[in-house]
Amino acid sequence: MTGRANSIIIVGGGASGVVLAAHLLKSPNPDLRVTLIEKRPHFGQGIAYSTLLSAHVLNVSAAGMSAYADDPGNFWRWLLERGLATPEQAPVYAPRGVYARYLGELLDDLEVREQATGRLRLIREESLSITPTASGVEVALANGTSVVAHLAVLATGHDEESAQGHAIRMGSEADTALPPDSRVMVLGTGLSMVDAFLSLEQRGHRGDIIAVSRRGLLPSPHRKGNPIKLDVADIPLGTQLSYFVGWFRDLIRENQKAGIDWRDVVDGLRPFNQKIWQNWPSSAKRRFVEHTKAWWDIHRHRMAPEVYARVTEAVQSGRIRLVAGRVVGIIAADGFTVEVQSRHTQRLETFDVARIYDCSGIVRDISTSSNSVVRSLVDRGLARPDPLRIGLDVSANCEIIAGDGSASAKLLAVGPLTRGTFFEIDAIPDIRVQCARLSKQLLG
Ligand SMILES: Cc1cc2nc3c(=O)[nH]c(=O)nc-3n(C[C@H](O)[C@H](O)[C@H](O)COP(=O)(O)OP(=O)(O)OC[C@H]3O[C@@H](n4cnc5c(N)ncnc54)[C@H](O)[C@@H]3O)c2cc1C
């Protein structure tokens, strides 16, 4: 268990970093010092909320996006107060850029409030490494200076590494203008593919989009509902994956017979998802990631209804073609000739496309992270990948586990970096609970 600490450095000022700072600064402790380090020009944006496109809306309704675990209506009230939504409109899926504004204002308010106390320091600089010292930690910055504190919390989020091979990231430098009628390929059929489609539309692109993933599945739409009430005792914990999946399918069937939408069952399970994950043996976790996650994701991580309507219209009109299969060969000439093997027929199909976008997901093997602060911790044995290599190995208290298996009292992590331990920790409703717990643990 981590001891009491007064000075805390948060590395990464995206949503997780800002939400953690806000929770820490709720403490009345006059000796508290929070330093938030962010390499981008703006805090609270990160990869998810830096988009300026109004069609890129949140995939969680405003009612679920408050930064505060103990004040779930905070974001919704913020929208209402600024006339950005009306009560009749609920559920509202606000543009993600608006959410960045909310987090930015929240931090501005904290900065003003803490000006006299000096409890908050914001640093716009890249952090290169963190080194434990006798009394705490030293964080080296790209400008050659360093900052010290009792402990550091890593909130560096998603790996921004540019895509591999011939595929490029949408919005990256390589994403230059395209002839509007050219055909493009998107690797992935999930929410990032949907983002890419909306961006292409915004740019006036009219050509066909071939979207390829192993199963070719599109995320489902949200629908207004009421999650069913479950008790932890109802849930089979620690079973084999097949038993759990069977139980969950039966639960959905029973509820559907009673006229309840499957979404209300999926959402009813949500408070227990981390517990379910943590109780599974590693074999079940591995099987889930390999075989079940794609199905789970399209039911659990849903689209705003208006976005779903636009995407399905494009699928029905043939503008987007969803292909279940895998890319087995790419020949680059004038554009690309891509060979895809169909999942169902095993037949090969060839597509000539002008560009290939990588929307295949943001989870990479953490030991090959492009983020120097993460990689240097792993390289020096101060951190290690979790058994599935989808994040850093951390304890249930967010302490980073070193190569020798010891949990650190000085190095901690929050947000998507901790998905190996918490699994369901990408979205704000989970991140804010994690940040509230960690603040309490660190400051009492
Ligand atoms: C496209 C997309 C849409 C999403 N939409 C939603 C949604 O609608 N609702 C929802 O609840 N969740 C959504 N999510 C989930 C999302 O993961 C979380 O909501 C949240 O953005 C995670 O924030 P983070 O700060 O942990 O990570 P990130 O957003 O990745 O931010 C990490 C920050 O750390 C900074 N950083 C990294 N390394 C360093 C370094 N070495 N030095 C200094 N700074 C550094 C980065 O510049 C960045 O600002 C979405 C995710 C994506 C990718």
User: What is the per-residue pLDDT across 10-43, written as a single tens digit (0 to 9) for each?
Assistant: 999 999 999 999 999 999 999 999 999 999 999 9
Q: How confident is the model at residue 333 (pLDDT cuts 50, 70, 90)?
A: confident
Element (H, E) at 24: helix 15-24
Q: What pLDDT does residue 2 have?
A: 43
**Residue whose CA is at the smallest distance from ligand 1 atom 26:** 157
pTM: 0.95
Q: Report percent pLDDT > 70 for the chain.
A: 98
268 alpha carbon – ligand 1 mean position (Å): 25
Ligand 1 contacts (CB < 6 A) are 11-17, 37-40, 45-48, 58-60, 126-127, 155-158, 195, 362, 371, 373, 415-416, 426-428
Q: What pLDDT does residue 164 have?
A: 67
Q: Which atom of ligand 1 is nearest to the CA of 157?
A: 27
The answer, yes or no, to whether residue 360 has pLDDT greater than 90, is no
- In testing the pocket of ligand 1, which one of 23, 102, 156, 194 has its CB within 8 Å of the most ligand atoms? 156
Q: How confident is the model at residue 4 (pLDDT cuts 50, 70, 90)?
A: low
Q: What pLDDT does residue 184 have?
A: 97
- Burial state string for 57-88 with b = 16 or more CB within 10 A and e = fewer than 16: bbbbbbebbbbbbeeeebbbebbbeeebbeee
Averaged over 342-347, what is the pLDDT?
91
The answer, yes or no, to whether residue 1 has pLDDT greater than 50, is no
**157 three-state secondary structure:** coil
110 alpha carbon – ligand 1 mean position (Å): 20
Domains of the chain by range and CATH? 7-159+363-442 (3.50.50.60), 184-220+302-358 (3.50.50.60), 232-300 (no CATH)
**Residue whose CA is at the smallest distance from ligand 1 atom 10:** 427
Residue 269 carries which side chain, given as an amino acid letter? L
Q: How confident is the model at residue 261 (pLDDT cuts 50, 70, 90)?
A: very high
57 alpha carbon – ligand 1 mean position (Å): 15
- In testing the pocket of ligand 1, which one of 123, 426, 430, 432 has its CB within 8 Å of the most ligand atoms? 426
Q: What pLDDT does residue 362 have?
A: 62
Q: Which of 104, 136, 77, 81 is nearest to 22 (CA)?
A: 104
User: What is the per-residue pLDDT across 218-254, written as a single tens digit (0 to 9) for each?
Assistant: 999 999 999 999 999 999 999 999 999 999 999 999 9
Q: Which atom of ligand 1 is nearest to the CA of 65?
A: 11
Q: What pLDDT does residue 367 have?
A: 82
Q: Which atom of ligand 1 is nearest to the CA of 374?
A: 41
First to last CA, the chain: 12
Residue 380 carries which side chain, given as an amino acid letter? R
